[in-house]
Amino acid sequence: MASGRPQAEMPEDLVRYLAGGRLVVVATVDADGWPYTMVMNWAAARDARTVRLSMDRRTQSLKNVEANGRVMLEVIGDGLIYGVRGTARVVQEQMRHAPILSAMVEVAVEHVKRDLPPGVIIEGPVFRWGALEPFMAPLDPLGIEELKTWEQDQPGAS
């Protein structure tokens, strides 16, 4: 994908990168029309047209999603930068494996643009739980797997 040329779905390198556990900046739109950003690491591509996120029920970001569904993800990783725009909705009110009350949000991808200029080298951010590692390390793979495999007709579906 050429830099800046928008597409309707995520390219394969981005889908692979969003296998789970990567930092993603999520921008939502508040009631006054202003962008509101949040960094998260429980984000996973289900396929080239779908990304799922785990959002803390207490956040303004989730309130914004519930109010208007407008989101933009900025994904910065080793050798890639993409902007992904779409419409989000809560598909599960409470994730089973989240350590805090969190909703599963599904983003229907509508517009993807590569933001990495040709010839530029980028190294993605590194995320570590630090002191929370003993508690969070066992939950991370479970939460990411839930994001990738959860189906609407399962018990607890919204």
Question: pTM for the whole thing?
Answer: 0.88
For residue 100, is it within any domain?
A: yes
For residue 150, is it within any domain?
A: no
For residue 77, is it within any domain?
A: yes
Q: With contact defined as beta carbons under 8 Å apart, do 56 and 41 qualify?
A: no
Average pLDDT, the chain: 91
Residues 44-102: tens digit of each pLDDT = 999 999 999 999 999 999 999 999 999 999 999 999 999 999 999 999 999 998 888 99
Q: With contact defined as beta carbons under 8 Å apart, do 75 and 44 qualify?
A: no
Q: Please count the structural domains in the chain.
A: 1
Burial 70-100 (b: 16+ CB within 10 A, else e): bbbbbbbbeebbbbbbbebebebeebebbee
* pLDDT for 138 beyond 80: yes
For residue 19, is it within any domain?
A: yes
